[in-house]
Amino acid sequence: MTIKTLNAELLARFKNIKLLVLDVDGVMTNGGLTIGDDGQEYKTFHAHDGLGMKLLKASGVEMAIITGRTSNVVKKRAESTGVAHFYQGAEDKLAAFNDLVSKSGLQASQCAFMGDDVVDLPPMLKCGLALAVPDSPSLVLKYAHYVTAKSGGHGAVREVCELIMQAQGTFDAQMAQFLTQASISN
C-alpha cells in the first residue's frame, strides 16, 4: 500500500501522528514464542522494522512499546531502535496507554497504536490511528483504521513507519541519505 491509495480521512489520521505505540508479540515479531529449557525467551525481529523505527524517530515521531509480557530481549530491542517509552508486563494496556499519553503531553488522537489481538483493542479504540496486522482476529480487524499488507515480524512495522513519513512529507528526506551515498559510490 502506498500513501496515494489512502482515502482522505485515513491520510489525515496518518498526518496527525506524533507517537507510534507498538505491541510486541505478533506485531514486532511473528507471534511465536520460543522458550528454552532454561526458561530463556527468544524472539525474532525483522531488520527492516528496526531501520523503519529509527528513520521514523529521526523524522520527529516518537516511539513507544506497550507489551503484556516481560522480556529482557524486548528491552534490548527497544534500546537499539531508540524507543523512548517502554511498558512491559502491562496487563492493562489501556492504563499504560493513558499513562503514556499523560506523560507525553500529547492528545490520544495524535497517537497510533499497532496491535494484533483483542487485548490491544482498548488502546486501539482510544487512539487516533488504530493499526493491525492481517492475521489479527476478526474483531481486531473490524476496529482497525488500517491493516498492514505485511504480517507481524515480517515488515509490518516498517510499512507503517513509511506510511507515516510519507503522509507527513518526511519520507524523501529520510531516504535522501541513502540515495546520496549510493550515487557517490557509483
Q: Which residues are annotated as a binding site for substrate?
A: 25
Q: Which helix H or strand E contains 126, and what residues bound it?
A: helix 121-126
The residues near 159 (Cβ < 8 Å, ≥ 6 apart) are: 1, 52, 148, 149, 150
User: Cell 531488520 sits at which residue?
Assistant: 47
Pull the grid cell for residue 179. Answer: 540515495
Q: Measuring CA to CA, which residue among 152, 131, 151 is closest to residue 143?
A: 131
Binding residues: 23, 25, 116
How far apart are the C-alpha atoms of 156 and 30, rounded to whole Å?
A: 10
User: Cell 498526518 sits at which residue?
Assistant: 15
Binding residues for Mg(2+): 23, 116
How far apart are the C-alpha atoms of 155 and 87, rounded to whole Å?
A: 22
